[in-house]
Amino acid sequence: MRVLVTGANGFVGRHTVHDLQQAGHTVSGFDLSNSPANQPTLDIHAGDIQDKDAVNEVVAQTRPEACVHLSALSFVPEGWRNPEALFSINLLGTIHLLEAFRRLSPGARILVVSSAEVYGLCPRPRPVQEDDLLDPDNPYAISKAAADRLALLYARQHGMMVMTVRPYNHIGPGQAPHFVVASFAAQLVAIASRQTQAPAVLKVGNLDSRRDFSDVRDVARAYRLLLEHGQPGRAYNLCSQQTTTIRAILDQLCDLSGAHPAVEVDPQRYRPAGERPALDTTRIETDIHWKPEIPMSTTLRDILAEATRALHT
C-alpha cells in the first residue's frame, strides 16, 4: 500500500516508517521538517497538521491508500501548560486529516493513534474494554478522547475505513529525554562515562508510579498490522499486560549501566502515583493476532546503547 505517516520524524513515527517499509509498503511522511530523521529513504513532506491547506496538499500529492496519524502533542504535562496548542494539534489537526481524506481519498484505511489515557484513573471492576466509558482526567487525555470519538464517528457517518488505537506508554531507542525512561538512561550514561561535572546524583520524579510499558518496535508492528488487517470503525486497546514501578525500571537500568548514583526527587518531574486501569486486549489479539514480543531487558539495553551513542556524537 501507499501509506502516509503523519508525525513521521517523531519517536514513534520513525519506528513506524521503518516497520512499514520493511513489510514492503511505500511510505510518505508528513512532519514540520522535510529533513528525514535518520530515514534517508523516506519521501517526506514538510507541513503543519494545524494548517488545513498543507494537509490537503500532502494527501492530494501522495494519493495514499492508507494513513497512520501520529502527529500530536504527546507530553502530558505540556497539555496543562499550553492547552490551546494541545487542542489545535491533537483535535483540530485530526479534523484536518479526516476531512482531507473524506474529500480526496475516502477509501483509504486510516489509523488514528489515540491513547489509553482516555480511560482515566478511576478504578474499574475488570480490565477496560474498548466500548467502556471514556473518563479522561487531564487536558491531553481529553484532547485524545475527542479525536478518538470523532474518528470513529467519521467511520459511521461517512463510511470511511477509520480505526483508532489506544496504547499505554511505550519506550525504546530514540525517545526524547524528557520522558522518564529516556531521561534515566541519559543521566546514567553520563554518570557512568564520567562526562558530567555534576555530582553523581540522578534526578527523578515519582518512583512509586506504576506503568504498563511496551517496546516502541512492538507498537509500530501493531500499527502496521492494524492498518493491514484491522476492522474499520473499531477502537483497539494496546499494551503489554505487564505493569511495573518506575523504581523497578530504574533499578534495571542501574544494573545494566553499572552506575548506581544517589537519587534526588525533582519537584518539576514529580507526578502523582495514580494507577491506570488494566486494559482488555482480546480485540487486538483476535483481529490481528498481535502480542508483544520484545522483553523489557532488551528494550532497556537498546535505550542505554542509544543514549551512549548520543553522548558521543
pLDDT digits (tens, 9 = 90+) for 157-214: 999 999 999 999 999 999 988 889 999 999 999 888 875 555 688 888 888 889 999 9
Distances (CA, A) of 194 to 56, 188, 198, 277, 301: 50, 10, 9, 40, 19
Per-residue pLDDT at 110 exceeds 70? yes
User: What does the pLDDT average to over 58-86?
Assistant: 93
Mean pLDDT of 100-127: 95
pLDDT beyond 70 at 16:
yes
pLDDT bin (cut points 50, 70, 90) of residue 273 is low
Span 123-166, pLDDT tens digits: 889 999 999 999 999 999 999 999 999 999 999 999 999 999 99
Name, in order, each residue with C-beta under 8 angstroms of 49's C-beta and a sequence gap of 6 or more. Answer: 6, 7, 30, 55, 71, 89, 93, 96, 97
Quick one: average pLDDT of 41-65?
A: 96
Give me the pLDDT at residue 199, please. Answer: 63
Domains and CATH numbers, the chain: 2-171+214-242+278-293 (3.40.50.720), 180-209+243-275+300-311 (3.90.25.10)
Using one digit for the tens of pLDDT, what is the confidence trace for 226-266?
Answer: 999 999 999 999 999 999 999 999 999 999 999 889 888 88
Q: Is the pLDDT of residue 269 over 80?
A: no
User: Residue 51 pLDDT > 90, yes or no?
Assistant: yes
Per-residue confidence band for 50, with pLDDT thresholds at 50, 70 and 90: very high
- Own/partner long-range contacts of 12-17 (Cβ < 8 Å, ≥24 apart): 12/70, 12/113, 12/170, 12/216, 12/219, 12/220, 13/70, 14/38, 14/39, 14/174, 15/172, 15/174, 15/216, 15/217, 15/219, 15/220, 16/68, 16/70, 16/220, 16/223, 16/224, 17/42
pLDDT of 186 reads 92
Residue 289: count of CB within 10 angstroms of its CB = 9
Using CA atoms, how far residue 200 sits from 7, 78, 193, 194, 302, in Å, is: 36, 28, 11, 9, 23
**120 has pLDDT over 80:** yes
Task: List, for residues 282-308, the tens digit of each pLDDT value.
Answer: 999 999 999 999 999 999 999 999 999
Residue-level pLDDT at 131: 97
Least confident residue range of 62-66, 216-220, 309-313: 309-313
State whether residue 80 is helix, strand or coil: helix
Query: Mean pLDDT over residues 33-59, rounded?
Result: 88
